[in-house]
Structure 1
């Protein structure tokens, strides 16, 4: 047998639960006063191998392996003695035994002795087991109890007495359900009966108990097992109970920290982040919490370290209470907290260290300097108070104040460690939210500054728009739109979307929008304009790669560009990977005209195609980015287009109302992508708002052009513009006759400006130059530029058109329908 091993009945073949010196099993012999053996039991024969007739009358010392050893190892125990002896087995081997002896009585010859012996190893094993049982019952932290088959208490150890606070004498002999308070008794009895009937132990069953301390819940882990005697008969049920309150709370704190890592900082919104901290803390940790941030942090500025002499400008950013409804607080959300310099909050901000007041009452020193807050705390019944700093990157950004009144326990060191951990996580999220909000606002300001501030007042098109940036997670994007006044009362309508989000996308959008303005001023057809825009995107991407700035390069963009002609009552569209426009008619369903898609900008090498679409009176055009029809991740394009058709129904409504319906119908509260859309109601020019004449290439055509121009201006009531207009027409017609070819045409348009157009069959471009004093010619376009507000050239499939605009006289108005103007 290895030293220290505990022998089990299965291993040793004997029942170690019985005492080894039990006379029914042990070796028993009687020794007379002369030391002769007078009695020999069957157990002695089994232990040493000698038969009774072999030892009766022989000296007992002959059994010793070493003569005289018994005197050396003997020590007294009461009236007898106990010894560890080495004896000789009948087969000649030595055997270590433990022996106990006691006197039987004395006569005139002396006293006889009763000697009981057992195997020494078995005896020591039994002694260890007894020591374990005694220690477990009297010294271990486990609460132990034994109940009989009738579920009455038989034994209760001191640990269970202390744990329950009930003396054992008040429970012994009573049933479980009668001796334990509340629902604990019937529950314990049901479990004990289950163990009795099944024999299966119940292991580590946790139960919350507040009977001993009504102000604090205790969690206990209990195990129950059936007890049997050596014959296998059930004698009762044993219960072992351990108070695991500290472990339970540690698990709760760990679970709360894990939960906080998911809940706090779920968005990059500053207000939402601090509110999430408050929601995590109440009610698991505190009955009330207030989170105050530095005013500089609320204002998205960089916080600066504070000294003890500085006064912290704190603003209430979040608070939460266990009481239903809005908390009854001294400081409203967004208002200054105004803590006195001696307050825990001021000291916490200045030192960056927490302040724990386990007990708070009216005698607390710092409350004497803040009577309103002292009265409020007394009214509520606050008894424990804690202030923890929110520190991020070595700087305090705010404080969290926690209070308890319903929870009767005071804040302790473990609570402080937990709150400090949660506050540290929240502080990093607050700082990240502050930084992101500042950067997002800067990018949004940049983007909005790059978008049109006011649409041009054009009689040909009435327009309204909406721009909605993406939520704070995605950042600003590169969506844009524009309404451009072109020559000949035409209007350019454009909407585009740069791939990606952030400052770079917004800056790229600004570049593309500027390029569209420049190219549109050249009166390029829509397909040619997109080709030039595609080349620009390719050059921008190449410049980014050359600058070795990975991740900031232009990935591409989409664009839809259309030109509406109020005289032809049609629009020419071209698109580069962008959704087609929608046309809402008065008398039929919403139409999505078949415009060739074209590749997105930035691919290069592929041509763009334009398509002309008739625009009937009373319809509404809708230009939009893809974020409008795919605003939700779970929505497909077809569903988005169906909702768009629904929102565009009844195009005779005001455009602002149509825009509002589009927002309500198609967009969630927090769109995941930027959304820009433009709705326009075209107005065709009436027949009396323009006049066209075909001219010959004869020199007399100049005089004829001057005459018909004067007559038309007289019909329009614009006589005061006759001189300058006839001069402009004369110079333009003269140039066409001299330098161009037929067909030659003159057109006058009365819109928000008076427009003169002379068309010819040549593609040569005129150039403005300053004539020298001795030159006979070369002053025509110079005179046109002096008298006209704007002038320019646009090319057509048949040749070119030179145009010049003049402002109408003050007071002359043309209504949006293009009807006959009225003069004051």
Structure 2
């Protein structure tokens, strides 16, 4: 074999006519030095010794520029010059150069390479090992030559490794970077982790000679890589929810089995309830709750998840929460401190745990809990780098737990406040039966409902929701609910009531926008939805208006369940100037109305539309008790594992007409005798109803004053109506829109005391406008 470029070219007289770069590197002469000179000047007078394997007559001894002799195997090949003369090209034998270089490189690798190098024959017996391998602890003096490499080294998967080598011998495709844990036979411990690469060896004719194995110790780098992976995994998984227990479970899931064979998280019990833990070291009297546990199949916990107990003193667990310093411990049968906790000691003994890290879950000098990590004989012991990682993981988890604790506390306060702001025991009216469901949202929403007793036997029904969550949302909900009560007492129609409620919401929004720039509430836009219905049992009508809220579902007995077409107004608090529209519906006795928040249906697995269809089907059985209908709607429309940021509210109302024998109505003349006539009617009717005399006398006086004012300041026609429910209601209707007001008469004034006297005698009084005038009413307790 020849190199591609000749060392030199000689003419037929032996004169150098071409000088190659290799010749200049080999002998030091430049082309100017030798071209035109006879080649004889380059030849030494001595004869080069024959090398083993050199061809006869192929060796030549040349003299370099310094006069030293250089032995070279030369090959000669004739070449035709452009002038048709013959020249002779001198080549250095390629076999020599390759053999010399290859042998030098191979020798250097086997003597100086710090990692393992092995040559195997086709039977996988060791033919040669490098110096670094011979220096391994417990390595045989002869390097194990002549024996199969699986007999010399204890590998984690010997059969699998042999299969890889055979596959390389068969296919010739190298296997690179296979991770194998191994150690010399007889060594103790887990051994080292190696990156194993296998190459097939062939001779010049392509015959398979064996395999070359290179084993690079990657124990440290892989351990560091594994620790980085664990850290990244914990940061990805832990802290995704604002739930203390979920964070603890996510932590142990991320650590087992990659970083630990068993992981235990104990949390201070008050932290799980959202309470502020005591600053400083954990007191001996403070209990911890087992929050999460994960281990291999053969482990069984000493204490189950949910168990609450105090840490035994004089143990690393208690000490870690005293000085907030992590511990790296070796476990064994003679570990003295385990006697303080026999149950835990027995579990450690049965599991074969030999290494333990105890890391405090602490933040800003406050103990939140404890992280315990165990390793068994199947994995290596923890080291100082593992201890540093465990402390980092514990600190990060403590931050996540504290965030969840703060949220739990705020959520608990918000839900408790909301529960106090909502009607505690809304009683059904004589003409309206009600039942309700309220499931607070995961983040504490601003949903509310209300059942209000109005004058004239009417009932107000409200369901609404303030957008957002937390204590500020709940406070806004309470403000709007209070405003609705005040507006409803004025007898406003539903559309007018929502318009005035929107004014209140806009005022609250302006106050929020005027907060300091640093206040986070300033950035939260105030928006609320609401549906308001007013049922009149005497007219058997229900007037409904809504502000960005779903319309109610209504079932008429023996008829279809419908969703009435009620135009929606803008959300409360918005700048949309669109008017609110009220729709009056005629209801049959026994009709059932369902008011709800969007969250009640949006949690359903298939879709909100399917859930609405289910709700309509459930209402088609109106004869059932309303609480049973509520439960059935809950089971059908909400998934057990559903979660929602909003409050799920359902309010059912079954309507009835007012009993005719409990209502009395009389027209009155528009003259001075009207007051006397009214007193006579009241006295006669209350006697028939068997109302006590004191109440009757008071009612006569109240009616006399109301009728007198109507005659004096109103306009005909006049009408008197008595309604007997749990209250006695007196109503005087006239055709005037002039609103009555209480006057504070002076001592010598002859009039102006009518409404003042009425306000003191009645439990409540007020007025409301109608389409043809106004009604002034009073209520007396029976």
Q: TM-score, normalised by structure 2?
A: 0.82
CA shift digits 1:584-616 (9 cap, x unpaired): 233233211121212222234221111111121
Does the C-alpha gap of structure 1 residues 407 and 228 become closer, same or farther in structure 2, counting only changes over 3 Å?
A: closer
Is 1:545 the counterpart of 2:519 in the alignment?
Answer: no
* Counterpart for residue 329 of structure 1: 302
Q: CA deviation at 1:9?
A: 8.9
Instruction: Report what 1:507 is aligned to.
Output: 475
Distance 1:377 1:540, change over 3 A: same
Distance 2:528 2:624 in 1: 32
1:752 aligned residue (711, 721, 726): 726
Computing the radius of gyration over CA atoms, which structure comes out larger, 1 or 2? Answer: 1
The aligned counterpart of 1:271 is 245
Change (3 A) 1:439 1:187: closer
CA contact (8 A) 2:556 2:587 kept: no
Deviations 1:294-346 (A, max 9, x none): 345344343444359x5472402324253559944257625122320x22122
Relative to structure 1, the CA distance from residue 51 to residue 195 in structure 2 (aligned partners, 3 Å threshold; closer, same or farther) is: farther
Give the structure 1 partner of residue 337 of structure 2. Answer: 366
Superposed CA RMSD in Å reads 3.8
Cα 1:125/1:405, change in 2 over 3 Å: closer
How far off its partner does 1:285 sit? 3.0
The structure-2 alpha-carbon separation of the partners of 1:442 and 1:188, relative to structure 1 and needing over 3 Å to count, comes to: closer
- CA drift at 1:525: 0.6
- C-alpha contact 1:287 1:406 (8 A) present in aligned 2: no
Distance in 2 (CA, whole Å) between partners of 1:513 and 1:325 is: 58
Q: CA deviation at 1:399?
A: 1.8
Give the 3 Å change call, closer, same or farther, for CA 582–370 of structure 1 in structure 2. Answer: closer
Residue by residue, what CA displacement relative to the aligned partner does 1:405-460 show, whole Å, maximum 9, x if unpaired?
45463332233233222212211111111111112222222222222222145212
- Deviation by residue 1:5-44 (Cα, 9 ceiling, x = unmatched): xxx9968889xxxxxxxxxxxxxxxxxxxxxxxxxxxxxx
Q: What's 2:552 paired with?
A: 581
Q: Say which of 560, 565, 571 aligns to 2:536.
A: 565
Q: Which moved more, 1:224-233 or 1:793-802?
A: 224-233
- Deviation of residue 394 (structure 1)? 5.0
Change (3 A) 1:575 1:406: same
Aligned partners of 1:447 and 1:540: how far apart in 2?
Answer: 18
Deviations 1:185-214 (A, max 9, x none): 665555445444544322223345589579
Matched, 1:627 2:599: yes
2:404 aligned partner: 433
Which residue pairs with 2:687 in the alignment? 714
Query: Does structure 1 conserve the Cα–Cα contact (< 8 Å) formed by 2:290 and 2:304?
Result: no
Say which of 738, 742, 749 aligns to 2:716. Answer: 742
Is the alpha carbon distance of 1:370 and 1:223 closer, same or farther for their aligned partners in structure 2, counting shifts above 3 Å?
closer
Match of 1:144 in 2: 117
Q: Which moved more, 1:687-696 or 1:663-672?
A: 663-672
Distance between the aligned counterparts of 1:710 and 1:162, measured in 2?
Answer: 120
Cα pair distance change 1:184/1:785, threshold 3 Å = closer
SS at match of 1:237: strand
Stretch deviating more after TM superposition (276-285 or 741-750): 276-285
Quick one: which of 392, 398, 414 aligns to 2:363? Answer: 392
Kindly indicate whether the alpha-carbon contact (under 8 Å) linking 2:445 and 2:645 is maintained by their aligned counterparts in 1. Answer: no
SS of alignment partner, residue 467 of structure 2: strand
Q: Does 2:769 match 1:798?
A: no
Q: Are the structure 2 counterparts of residues 611 and 211 from structure 1 closer, same or farther at C-alpha, using a change threshold of 3 Å? A: farther
Correspondence for 2:487 among 519, 523, 534: 519
Which of 737, 742, 745 pairs up with 1:768?
A: 742
Q: What does residue 445 of structure 2 align with? A: 477
Query: 1:557 Cα deviation (Å)?
Result: 1.5
Matched-pair contact (CA < 8 Å) for 1:208–1:218: yes
Q: Does 1:686 align with 2:654?
A: no
- Could you say if the C-alpha distance between residues 95 and 467 of structure 1 is closer, same or farther in structure 2, counting changes exceeding 3 Å? farther
CA deviation digits over 1:79-137, x for unaligned, max 9? Answer: xxxxxxx9746xxx55644579xxxxxxxxxxxxxxxxx99xx9999877645423422
Q: How does 1:8-157 map to 2 (within 5 A)?
A: 49-50=39-40, 88=63, 96-97=68-69, 130=103, 132-149=105-122, 152-157=125-130
Q: Does the C-alpha gap of structure 1 residues 481 and 183 become closer, same or farther in structure 2, counting only changes over 3 Å?
A: closer
Residue 385 of structure 2: aligned partner: 414
Shifted more, 157-166 versus 400-409: the winner is 157-166
- 1:731 matched to 2:705? The reply is yes
Partner of 2:196: 222
Shift in Å at residue 688 of structure 1?
0.9
How far 1:349 sits from its partner (Å)? 1.5
Post-superposition shift, 1:180? 7.9
Distance change (3 Å), C-alpha of 1:13 and 1:707: farther
Q: TM-score, with normalisation over the residues of structure 1?
A: 0.78
Q: Which residue of 2 aligns with 1:465?
A: 436
Describe the shift of the 1:375–1:237 C-alpha distance in structure 2 as closer, same or farther (beyond 3 A).
closer
- For 1:703, the equivalent position in structure 2 comes to 676
